[in-house]
Amino acid sequence: MTIVSSPADTGPVLRAEAVEIVRDGRHLLRDISLTVRPGEHWALLGANGAGKSTLLGLLGAVTHPSRGVVEVLGRTLGRVDVRELRSYLGHVNPRHTPDGPLRVRDVVLTGLTNTAALVPRWTPTEQEEEQADRLIAMLGMSARAEAGWPTLSQGERGRALIARALMPSPRLLLLDEPATGLDLAAREQLLAGIDGLRARHTSLATVLVTHHLEELPATTTHAMLLREGRCLALGPVADVLTSDLVSTCFDHPVRLIRSDDGRWAARAERAVFSAV
């Protein structure tokens, strides 16, 4: 494992130490250590089945480790009420489905109750409704605030779910493949929204899972490469996202390109075929 160091800071938002997850005798994660500090924006990358979503479930207090220690917002899993802990996290799952014919504003407000529908006999305060409107505007969704969920494009749903996740004013935002199913325009709108969010909330920490480098926002600061449940490399993004390390991670020779605006692309090296 290649470990790339970065300057120390205090008060980590996340800390995982020698974490393992074993299911039915099979290691899904093995010897994973990670520290995320306020204002850092991490990308978890790896091929399908590498363990990215499994690790995100740990960091989001959805699952517990078989071995090792996980601290989320200073609280150790196994010694804290995880339902209460999850209320302080923002978790964006593009597969989230609201329960009932909700409008965008309603869906965003359910971020306060962490439910799929508005809670009966619960009424948001005026301040909470104003906060929902501010977040909807920040994600460029004001014109669709009264639209019903079924009428939204996949990209609009993604931005609405980010607004929903931000309603509790979390210190940590987890994004599980937020660009899944988006076309080119919708993906770019979503990534621009994430970059804008990070610029406005400088102490917010984020962890984004993807297996496509093109889906990384330009504001990404750190990265971890996962391969078969193990950490291949982690640290500042410029040191981790190299052609050699990414080629090893995905078991295929690729050449990484980073554009002037800070975005990444990967190109497969040309295969050489011998004559028959």
Burial of 190 (0-12, 13-18, 19+ CB in 10 A): buried
> Can you say how many angstroms the Cα of residue 28 is from the centroid of all Cα atoms in its chain?
19
pLDDT at 3: 41
Three-class DSSP category at 217: coil
pLDDT tens, per residue, the chain with 276 residues: 444 443 333 589 999 999 999 988 788 999 999 999 999 999 999 998 899 989 998 888 888 889 999 999 888 888 888 777 877 888 888 778 888 789 999 999 998 888 888 888 888 899 999 999 999 998 889 999 999 999 998 889 888 998 999 998 888 999 998 888 788 888 888 888 889 888 888 899 999 999 889 999 999 999 999 999 999 999 999 999 999 999 999 999 999 999 888 899 888 876 554 555
Strand partners, 16: 34, 70
* Domains along the chain with CATH numbers: 2-88+170-268 (3.40.50.300)
* pTM beyond 0.75, yes or no: yes
Q: Of 59, 55, 41, 96, give the one whose Cα is nearest residue 216.
A: 41
